[in-house]
Amino acid sequence: MLEELQRRHYSQATTQRYIRFVERFAQHFHSAPDRLGRQHIREYQAQLFTVQKLSPGTVTNHLCALRFFYIQTLKKPWSIADTPYPKKRHRLPTILSQQEVAQLIDAAPTAFYRTVLMTLYATGVRNAELTRLKISDVDSQRMVLHVQGGKGRQDRDVMLSPVLLEELRAHWRRLRKRSSVWLFPGNRWHSGEQPMDTKTPRHACQHAARRAGIKKKVYPHVLRHCFATHLLEAGADLHTIQILLGHHDLKETAIYLHLSQRHLHATASPLDVLVLKGRSQPER
């Protein structure tokens, strides 16, 4: 299975997750996975829902891993009718106003966290993409930031804000020991030769939100949503935002139409045009 995932250029994170899910499936029945069939998969799917109380999205991820294993590794048929994917609940993501984003960044407990938050918001990169940014990815001549090996192993360029460029330069001067490769080095003093892990941006968001008194749940992907929504409100078109985010389908980007105040307020409610008797008068 590992060789097949690597041959098809699945990311390391997805590869490890798929292997882990298949291992859990086998452990549940105390049997090798190639000896288990459709009835076992249906029983396991029900157990994920009723016993483990997993969300529809997480159950779907387990089924995707098993489907890959049975079709690509064992070369066995797989019927969606036998093991239908659960329907996902479509929830609108949390969005911070521009004022709240400013409060979040200003409340960062350390200069390193402040730079991390500014980079997330200024570029819209994913958490994992942020941790893998290299020094060579900062192109101050063209004022772009190169995002290499993003979701789906796709490369893309995003804008490099002059404000962010100055912040990154200040960040680089502050480092005790500068990495030869990574823009955001790991370890406690940010001086390692490995990149920081994905927990660091999450901690930056949590600590800053708590200090800023923001009650909304803030994590790195929220700043990605804010990046897209605020761009849309400023007049950027959906296709441009799609390219900047690295979305394959415009439908993924269209969700921000539901979040943009400019688009929500552009259409009046039909209630506003009704002529009502005894309409309440505004208070003086």
List, for residues 168-218, the tens digit of each pLDDT value: 999 999 998 899 999 999 988 888 889 999 999 999 999 999 999 999 999
Query: Contact, 46 vs 39, CB < 8 A?
Result: no
Going by their DSSP bridges, the two strands 138-139 and 144-147 should be labelled as antiparallel
Q: Encoding tokens for residue 102?
A: 């400013």
Which comes out higher in pLDDT, residue 39 or 125?
125
- Whole-number pLDDT of residue 14: 81
List, for residues 24-79, the tens digit of each pLDDT value: 999 999 999 889 888 898 899 888 888 888 888 888 888 888 988 888 888 888 77
The answer to whether the pTM exceeds 0.75 is no
- The residues pairing with 158 across neighbouring beta strands, listed in sequence order, are 145
pLDDT at 18 over 90: no
- Whole-number pLDDT of residue 86: 72
Percent of the chain with pLDDT over 70: 95
Q: Indicate which residues carry an active-site annotation.
A: 126, 151, 221, 224, 247, 256
- Whole-number pLDDT of residue 121: 97
Which comes out higher in pLDDT, residue 87 or 235?
235
- Whole-number pLDDT of residue 186: 93
Lowest-pLDDT choice from 9-23, 104-118, 179-193: 9-23
List, for residues 133-142, the tens digit of each pLDDT value: 999 999 999 9
Lowest-pLDDT choice from 83-92, 107-116, 141-150, 201-210: 83-92
Q: How does residue 280 score in pLDDT terms, banded at 50, 70 and 90?
A: low
Q: What is the mean pLDDT of residues 267-282?
A: 72
pLDDT at 90 over 80: no
- Whole-number pLDDT of residue 84: 75
Query: Contact, 118 vs 105, CB < 8 A?
Result: yes
What does the DSSP assignment read for the chain?
-HHHHHHTT--HHHHHHHHHHHHHHHHHHTS-GGG--HHHHHHHHHHHHHTS---HHHHHHHHHHHHHIIIIIS-----TTTSPPPPPP--PPP---HHHHHHHHHT-SSHHHHHHHHHHHHH---HHHHHT-BGGGEETTTTEEEE-S-GGG--EEEE--HHHHHHHHHHHHH-SS--SSBSSB-TTTT--SSBPPTHHHHHHHHHHHHHHT--S---HHHHHHHHHHHHHHTT--HHHHHHHHT-SSHHHHHGGGGT-HHHHHTS--GGGG---TTPPPPP-
